[in-house]
Amino acid sequence: MLVGVISDTHNRIENVRKIISLFNKEGVGAVIHTGDITKAETLSMFSDLNCPLYGVYGNNDKLENGLQGICSKYNFKFKEPPHNLILDGKKISIFHEPELIETYVNDNDGVDIILFGHTHRYTHQVNDNTIYFNPGESAGSLEGKNALGIINLDNLEIKRIFF
């Protein structure tokens, strides 16, 4: 199963359109958003995905009205971090801010993948058999510098696509 990962879209409508198109073209089985969508109208655009959407609310989402209503309307599975789920037999924990991860990991063994955002900086590392991944900037205005991630859950390979 392929899982798309995106972070910090920050109401960049044109980028969200590209993200949705790329994920649909790649045939991902699920998409995970690590927070900071910013506006309910932007979140509703993800209803054009050909797969389920999971995610967490970021620090810039906390005061936004309507996000929970959009999640309910389109059956998006969003929670406050950490959001734990199992996809294709892999345990995935989703955060927005990386500062919350260390305490969580010490108390939870067996997490295969930890996804996060907030920093707008690419991270891909493995610690104690757990993959830590942040796809990096997706809300920038420079074409070709924004990125999303795709994780193959069968072999845990990760690729980034720039747009």
102 has pLDDT over 90: no
Per-residue burial over 80-116, b if 16 or more Cβ lie within 10 Å, else e, is ebbbeeebeebbbbbbbbbeebeeebeeeeebbbbbb
105 has pLDDT over 80: no
| pLDDT, averaged across the chain | 96
Question: What percentage of the chain exceeds 90 in pLDDT?
Answer: 91
Confidence (pTM): 0.97
pLDDT digits (tens, 9 = 90+) for 71-95: 999 999 999 999 999 999 999 999 9
107 has pLDDT over 90: no
Beta bridge pairs of residue 92: 85, 113
pLDDT digits (tens, 9 = 90+) for 29-83: 999 999 999 999 999 999 999 999 999 999 999 989 999 999 999 999 999 999 9
* Domain spans, the chain: 2-162
The CATH T-level fold of domain 2-162 is Purple Acid Phosphatase; chain A, domain 2 (3.60.21)
Q: Token pair 């797969």 is at which residue? A: 51
pLDDT digits (tens, 9 = 90+) for 117-143: 999 999 999 998 999 999 999 999 999
